[in-house]
Amino acid sequence: MAFDVEKIRADFPALSLTVHGKPLVFLDSAASAQKPLCVLDALYRQYQTEYANVHRGMYELSEKATTNFEQARRKVRNFIHAASDKEIIFTRGATDSINLVAYTWGAANLKAGDEIILSQAEHHSNIVPWQILRDRIGFTIKVVPVDDKGDFVFEDYLKLLSDKTKLVAVAHVSNVLGTIFPVKEIIHAAHQAGAVVLLDGCQAATHLPLDMQDLDCDFYAFSGHKLYGPTGIGILYGKKALLDNMPPFEGGGDMIKSVSFEKSVWAEPPARFEAGTPPIMQAIGLGHAIDYVSQIGRTEIDAYERTLCRRLQSEVEQVGGMRLIGSSENKTAVVSFVPDFAHPQDIAMVLDQEGVAVRTGHHCAQPLHERFGVSVSVRASLGIYNTEGDIETFIQALHKAKRFFS
């Protein structure tokens, strides 16, 4: 279908808000995206007329909720082209998904003397769990650098791979740089070395078509709230052969076949990793968000957002006094920069007075900022609802900030 951004914008109630008397220009979707009416309406309807706990309830409301919940799992499977519903685990978020892998697969398979590989661009959620586990077990973390443009240095990556490498865990798309890493090549090289691969797909799932069977990664994590769905829901995709041999992450209800005081027997995946009452409404809401994005078309979304991102980056450069953090030719949806005339937080405050919402800070990527010699940056990030007009308003506000502080 044709990409009609004005029609899309009409689906998002938040975009009609005013801030300080100015129309809202929302450029913080990389942190969390706004929600379309179809998701909000579905959540309201579910809570109002179709709410019950799922699984085992032998009454109509529970059966309906269970059907909707498991349909959401199937929607996720189709969205990322996984081989089976059993490869889709509902979690509390992408951070939870990565921690699940660390403390199940990682704790069971990593040992002292092993090595894992991360990239310099990782979000803290794909650094800290591995550090905690390293300090318990004694393996080594090696880091692939990014170059001055923010591209993954593939040659250095190949040099780091060895028979000691047991895991490669990298972002699909950097949340600061916007760089799309060469993940198929990363995965292929890792598998040749005998390593397992986890991709942090938080920024990719929102913007790019995904195919787990084509990528051939072993684990893939992403969150619902960046994908126009609710907070409190994340996805972990894992190859069934790996999930079948992983111990549970948490103990409780619904993740067991049987329990006695002498012994408990675990359920098959995905139930094994979904202890307790699951995020029922959040999963159903995510399913509706996936329906919405799929109807628009991810190829169309990708093309539109890349074009808009190039325009945004070019306009920021033309303001002057801006140092871009990430200028790869293969990037999407994110433009980060550091002004030389004011602190990023001061810039954001001026932009807010003009109705423009951006993010400042290290964006949970301190090592990456250190690599570029800065502590914080301004990040403007795009969603399917942003327009050329949003960019114009943002640039005008940026000029105003420059005049104010110069």
Q: What pLDDT, in 10s, does the model give residues 271-321?
A: 999 999 999 999 999 999 999 999 999 999 999 999 999 999 999 999 999
Strands 140-144, 115-119: parallel, antiparallel or unpaired by DSSP? parallel
* Pairwise CA distance, residues 122 & 364, whole Å: 9
Q: 289 and 322, same structural domain?
A: no
Count other Cβ atoms within 10 Å, centred on residue 23. 15
In a domain, 36, yes or no: no
Q: 282 and 165, same structural domain?
A: yes
Start-to-end CA distance of the chain, whole Å, equals 46
DSSP-derived 3-state class of residue 331: strand
pLDDT at 177 over 80: yes
pLDDT of residue 57: 84
pLDDT of residue 281: 97
Q: 23 and 54, same structural domain?
A: no
Active site residues: 364
* CATH number of domain containing 73: 3.40.640.10
Q: 271 and 333, same structural domain?
A: no
Q: Which helix (H) or strand (E) holds 377?
A: strand 377-381
Where does a domain end: 294, 324, 340? Answer: 294
pLDDT of residue 2: 66
* Pairwise CA distance, residues 30 & 226, whole Å: 7
* Pairwise CA distance, residues 18 & 264, whole Å: 55
* Pairwise CA distance, residues 380 & 337, whole Å: 9
In a domain, 406, yes or no: no
Question: pLDDT tens-digit profile of 94-115?
Answer: 999 999 999 999 999 999 999 9
* Pairwise CA distance, residues 103 & 232, whole Å: 20
Region for residue 332 given its phi and psi (left: phi exceeds 0; alpha: psi -120 to 50; beta: otherwise): beta
- Three-state SS string over 66-98 comes to HHHHHHHHHHHHHHHCCCCHHHEEEECCHHHHH
358 exposed, middle or buried (CB, 10 Å; 0-12, 13-18, 19+)? buried
Where does a domain end: 274, 294, 314? Answer: 294
Domain limits for position 263: 41-294
Q: 174 and 68, same structural domain?
A: yes
* Pairwise CA distance, residues 220 & 198, whole Å: 6
Where does a domain end: 266, 294, 322? Answer: 294
Q: 62 and 198, same structural domain?
A: yes
In a domain, 396, yes or no: yes
pLDDT of residue 3: 85
* Pairwise CA distance, residues 31 & 29, whole Å: 5
Q: Name the domain count of the chain.
A: 2
Q: 62 and 12, same structural domain?
A: no
- DSSP symbol at 180: B
Length reported for the chain: 406
